[in-house]
């Protein structure tokens, strides 16, 4: 297999552009599955985090959550989930 060429900065810019275009917030929170399909998206606010947690609990018991982000992205969600 050949090696694909990609840019972390380019990917971040693409995700932020999508979030800004679709959600009006370049730092929005999104849940993706292993196919990279967006399953849920919400604003990066306390209300958005609450909406995300309600959605997650409807999927089943929430025992653990993995948060991935770059720089400050994900910090607000992590703080919310730990509170």
* Structure confidence at residue 65 (pLDDT): 80
Residue 83, Cβ density class (10 Å: 0-12 exposed, 13-18 middle, ≥19 buried) = exposed
CB burial readout 26-58, b (16+ within 10 A) else e: bbbbbeeeeeeeeeebbbbeeebbebbbeebee
Q: Which tens digit of pLDDT belongs to each residue from 2-41?
A: 676 777 777 777 777 777 777 777 667 777 666 666 677 7
**Residue 69 within any structural domain of the chain:** yes
Task: Indicate whether this model's pTM tops 0.75.
Answer: no
What is the number of structural domains in the chain?
1
| Position 75 in a domain | yes
Confirm whether 44 is domain-assigned. Answer: yes
Asked, for residue 3, whether it belongs to a domain, the answer is no
Q: Tell me if 1 is assigned to some domain.
A: no
Asked if residue 73 belongs to a domain, the reply is yes
Residue 2 lies in a domain: no
Range of the domain at 44: 8-82
Count of helix runs (H) and strand runs (E) in the chain? 3, 2
Q: Give the number of residues written for the chain.
A: 83
């Amino acid at each position: 297999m050949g090696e694909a060429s990609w840019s972390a900065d380019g990917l971040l810019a693409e995700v932020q552009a999508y979030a800004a275009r679709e959600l009006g917030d370049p730092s929005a929170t999104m849940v993706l599955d292993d196919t990279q399909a967006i399953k849920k998206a919400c604003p990066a606010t306390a209300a958005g985090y609450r909406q995300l947690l309600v959605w997650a609990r409807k999927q089943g018991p929430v025992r653990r959550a993995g948060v991935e982000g770059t720089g400050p992205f994900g910090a607000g969600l992590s703080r919310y989930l730990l509170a």
